[in-house]
Structure 1
Amino acid sequence: MEAIEPAYGTATLLLIAAGAVALLLFLIMKVKLHAFIALVLVSVITAVAVGFPLADVPDALMYGFADTIGPVALLVAFGVMLGRLLEVTGGAQALADTLITRFGEKRAPLALGVASLLFGFPIFFDAGLVIFLPIILTVARRFGGSLLYYALPAAGAFAAMHAIVPPHPGPVAAAEALGGSIAVTMLVGIPVAVVAWYAGVMPVARYLGARIQVSVPEVLFGEINDGRDDSDADGTDGPEGEGGGKGSARRAPAFGTVLLLLLLPLVLISLGTVMETLVTAKSVDKDAAWVAFLGLLGDTPVALMVTVLVAIVVLGRPRASLPQITKLLDEALGPVCSIILITGAGGMFGGILELSGIGDALSGSLAGLGMPLIVQAFIISTLLRVAQGSATVALTTTAGLISGAVGEANLGDFQIALLVVAVAAGATVLSHVNDSGFWLVSRFFGMDEKTTLKTWTVMETTLGVAAFVVAAALWTVT
């Protein structure tokens, strides 16, 4: 669906956007209206207020909703199935125990973050988060204290890699729009992302974890019943590693098995990324059957589906019958329905703001600011991010706006890579209620909206600012 012609000036559109956000927060935090209902209601009101023809409002609502809920529903569904299998069979505990043994309790958040950085290289933020969710929750449940100690380092690592480092779509699109090298952008982006994560996420996670108590949610840790007897109903006599198994058929899987299982989607998605890169470079025939097959396996939902099927065979079948596994997976989907719907509604709200022309009006008024190019890139991207929510839209729009100035400046690939980092940094900060990722994190970690604003939004902002500071420092010496 195409954006409408703005019926108002930039100032009026920004006031409408600010009013919509304020109304949404009021309905959710003060009136206590369910977040899904509030998001849909405010999306309708905003669409009418900015001038959408009434007949076009339903299509405008579906634009952001369908675009978000399609991939999110598949990722969350397959991810929670995999997580439930890992939890019930003791696989998550086995992996957590090994991490803790090797790194120690005090370094457990660091271990989770480093592992997330590695997994986050080819895997999108939301997919990585759902895959790592059982590990995060298992570690947090074992040690107690606030979930933030363990959740923020891992989630921040996935966010950093997704925003800054190719082959993720945002930095790739920005590098191409600015005429830069994808390879150089990757070589620059990886160390910047790691430094920004360590400086902008780890201290914040420790600070917030010490001051805000967030309990481990019951997304995965529901009642476990394997159909044997009452003593097994709570898992206390379940697989080895969860309370002492009842024989070889009930032993928890080995660490190596769990690690290989978690690496499977990483390998499959990487294959898809490699195929896409080779097709773009015309190194392989895109119509070749084997290329299409590997590309299909590398599609993130397909890769997760394959992983769940393998997990059923490797983790589930040695310990339970297929009907019992099916019942377990069916029960796992119930608690995440709300997560999927609310995340989709968040995408709906962001889509309305995008189609309303708020972003275009804002960026058009800022493109000619007389300031250093890297500062201009960061500010424009930040304002677009705040105005319409989507980090990818902020990345691509900002890159398009400054591409002319970049061409005139005759910059090298290294400087263009720094500009991409600056744009990505701006597109990371201030995640709030018009960002579908905000709602995904809120519901996965069992936080209300106020707590999510005080934690996730703050951490995203410090991460983005840290990335920009690194890029700006390097810019000054080039």
Structure 2
Amino acid sequence: MLAAADPVQPAYGTVTLLAIAVAAVLVLLVLIIKLKLHAFISLVLVSLGTALVTKIPLGDLMKTLLDGFGGTLASVALLVGLGAMIGRLLEVTGGAQVLADTLIARFGEKRAPLALGIASLLFGFPIFFDAGLVVMLPIIFSVARRFGGSVITYAFPAAGAFAVMHAFVPPHPGPVAAGELLGADMGLLVIVGLLIGIPTWFIASYLYGQWAGKRFNLPVPAILGEVRDVPADERPSFGLVLSILLLPLVLIFLNTGLNTLATSGVVDGDATWVQALRLLGQTPVALLITVLAAIFVLRNRKLDLASIEKVCNDALAPVCAIILVTGAGGMFGGVLRASGIGEALAGSLEATGLPVIVAAFVVATALRVAQGSATVALTTTAGLMAPTVAATSGLSGMDLVCIVIAIACGATVLSHVNDSGFWLVGRFLGMDEKTTLKTWTVMETLIGVVGFTLAALVSLVL
């Protein structure tokens, strides 16, 4: 395994680095949209070219490329692969159909997208964005096939719910790290994150998803394989399907809950029993346990173990391209981070004299646009803003929490080609790059802008 590349001093000033980044994105879009070169090849090619132009030392160049690629795969590949298996097992056994039918019966046809979004808000509390989305996809696709219309109508309320929870609410790593760096109260951050996040989701994700679904009529993709109608007597019960979906939720929440208790000193974080239980709640382990549980409880008389092995194998084939493209997107973002553009741009913005909450949002936005990763933008901005926040007198506990939310909002906007999530959502929903920019990028930006507006109002009033 290659060692991590050492930090590189920027070879150019902020303006030049920004121009290089913009040019790299434009070249990438031309290669993919105009010249129809495969996204994976285009991303690797542009990443290499950008690394050379920004004068990353040749000895560190390959390390930088592979660190960005491998780091993204480390967080995405296991989650997507295991999540795809769970989704496919739910699909072929009729479990997704059972859950879809139950949601429809309880909420009705017109409120089906709302039901999917609310379910995703609940599942998204402890589960990371990519894992939650992959597990929910078969249910989303089943509902979309039942009622017709654009898959965006059903997918965006759910995807936006996971995005909001991942950025705004502990115990997700971004808001937790930012809250600790700025000295915000975690309990208050959870409450305010939910109070701001839920209306933000409703406006920027649910309502926007309904509008975008009417404008962009996309069919349900076949990425999870062919769909067969499972006879009613062979389908699992609703309670069994719900248990499968809740299993990773409970395990992951066990990990995050114990981590919170250990941080606050309630339990000994070094105790063997704590570490063992936390291991069970690590997202890849929790999904692995869920796959094994699904294999043994969702079997029916027409689906033996040999058939299930084929189902799991078939589930991996269509997502391999998604995993590789997502990893290449992480490579591009890693090159932009190593070039120093994000820190240089953020440093120049930090000294503009803007109000602290506005400066936090602007700096996070700059870092998000420059390097792609929302979590990196969130934590880096919090570290950059910490001295300014500490030196600003009169900031209340509510102000600190609102600043963390403002940073999260800036770290959410303008998801584009250097963001691995951009490729994950676009590929799973069968969208080309142009459509992904017109829909997913717009929704992410709306989430950030609406959330920041609400956070600024709360900070001003309270």
TM bucket normalised to smaller: over 0.9
Q: Which moved more, 1:210-219 or 1:280-289?
A: 280-289
Give the corresponding residue for 1:15.
Answer: 19
Matches within 5 A, 1:43-442: 43-222=47-226, 235-236=228-229, 238-240=230-232, 245=233, 251-316=234-299, 319-410=302-393, 411-442=395-426
Q: In 1, distance between residues paired with 2:107 and 2:372?
A: 37
CA deviations over 1:211-243 (Å, ceiling 9, x no partner): 1111111111326xxxxxxxxxxx34x342xxx
Shift of 1:371: 1.7
Which residue is equivalent to 2:460?
A: 476
3-state SS, counterpart of residue 213 of structure 1: coil
How far residue 288 of structure 1 moved from its aligned partner, in angstroms, is: 2.3
State the 1:317 CA deviation: 5.3
Q: Are the counterparts in 2 of residues 378 and 422 from structure 1 also a CA contact under 8 Å?
A: yes
The answer to whether the 8 A contact 1:343-1:436 is kept is yes
- CA offsets 1:328-376 (integer angstroms, 9 cap, x no match): 1111110000000000000010011011101111011111112211111
Which amino acid is the alignment partner of residue 252 of structure 2? I
Is the Cα contact below 8 Å between 2:28 and 2:46 reproduced in 1? Answer: yes
Alpha-carbon shift at residue 287 of structure 1 (Å): 3.1
- Which letter does structure 1 place at the counterpart of 2:304? S
In 2, Cα distance between the equivalents of 1:71 and 1:472? 32
Cα distance in 2 between the residues matched to 1:396 and 1:89: 42
Answer yes or no: is the 8 Å Cα contact 1:3–1:354 preserved in 2.
no
CA distance in 1, matches of 2:342, 2:374: 12
Deviations 1:158-178 (A, max 9, x none): 000000101111111111111
Write the distance in 1 (CA, Å) between the matches of 2:211 and 2:374: 26
Which deviations, in whole Å up to 9, do the C-alpha atoms of 1:21-64 show, x marking residues without a partner?
A: 00100000000000000000000000001011122211000111
**Structure 1 residue 462 and structure 2 residue 451: aligned?**
no
2:209 aligned counterpart, secondary structure: helix
What residue in structure 2 maps to residue 450 of structure 1?
Answer: 434
Q: Matched residue of 1:33: which SS?
A: coil
Deviation at 1:318?
Answer: 5.0
Percent of aligned positions that are identical: 60
Do the aligned partners of 2:6 and 2:60 also contact (CA within 8 Å) in 1? Answer: no
- Give the whole-Å Cα distance in 1 for the aligned partners of 2:447 and 2:410: 10
- C-alpha distance in structure 2 between counterparts of 1:379 and 1:364, whole Å: 11
Query: Distance between the aligned counterparts of 2:380 and 2:285, measured in 1?
Result: 30
Q: Is the 8 A contact 1:3 1:356 kept in 2?
A: no
Distance (Å, rounded) in 1 between the aligned partners of 2:339 and 2:7:
6
Q: One-letter code of the match for 1:193?
A: G
In structure 2, what is the Cα distance between the partners aligned to 1:239 and 1:455? 36
Instruction: Select between 334-343 and 316-325 the one with higher mean Cα deviation.
Output: 316-325
Contact 2:225 2:315 in 1 (8 A): no
Q: Which runs of 4+ in 1 moved over 3 A?
A: none
| Counterpart contact for 1:84–1:134, Cα < 8 Å | yes
Which amino acid is the alignment partner of residue 290 of structure 1? W
The separation in 1 between residues aligned to 2:332 and 2:26, in whole angstroms, is 13
Deviates more, 1:271-280 or 1:324-333: 271-280
1:348 maps to a residue whose letter is M
Deviation at 1:409, TM superposition (A): 2.1
Contact kept, 8 Å, 2:56 with 2:338, in 1: the verdict is no
Task: Answer with 399-408 or 458-467: which moved more.
Answer: 399-408
In the TM superposition, residue 2 of structure 1 has moved relative to its aligned partner by 3.0
RMSD: 1.1
Using the size of structure 1 for normalisation, the TM-score is 0.94
Report the alpha carbon displacement of residue 473 of structure 1 after superposing the two structures with TM: 0.9
Deviations 1:191-218 (A, max 9, x none): 1110100111122111111011111111
Q: Unaligned stretches of 5+ in structure 1?
A: 224-234, 246-250
The question of whether the paired residues in 2 share the 8 Å contact of 1:86 and 1:92 is answered with: yes
Query: How many angstroms does 1:279 deviate by?
Result: 2.2
> Cα offset for 1:281?
2.3
Q: What is the total number of aligned residue pairs between the two structures?
A: 457
Q: Distance in 1 between matches of 2:311 and 2:106?
A: 32
Could you tell me which residue of structure 2 aligns to residue 38 of structure 1? 42
> Residue 412 of structure 2 aligns to which amino acid in structure 1?
T
Q: Secondary structure at the match of 2:298?
A: helix
Verify the 8 A CA contact 1:89 1:239 in the aligned structure 2: no
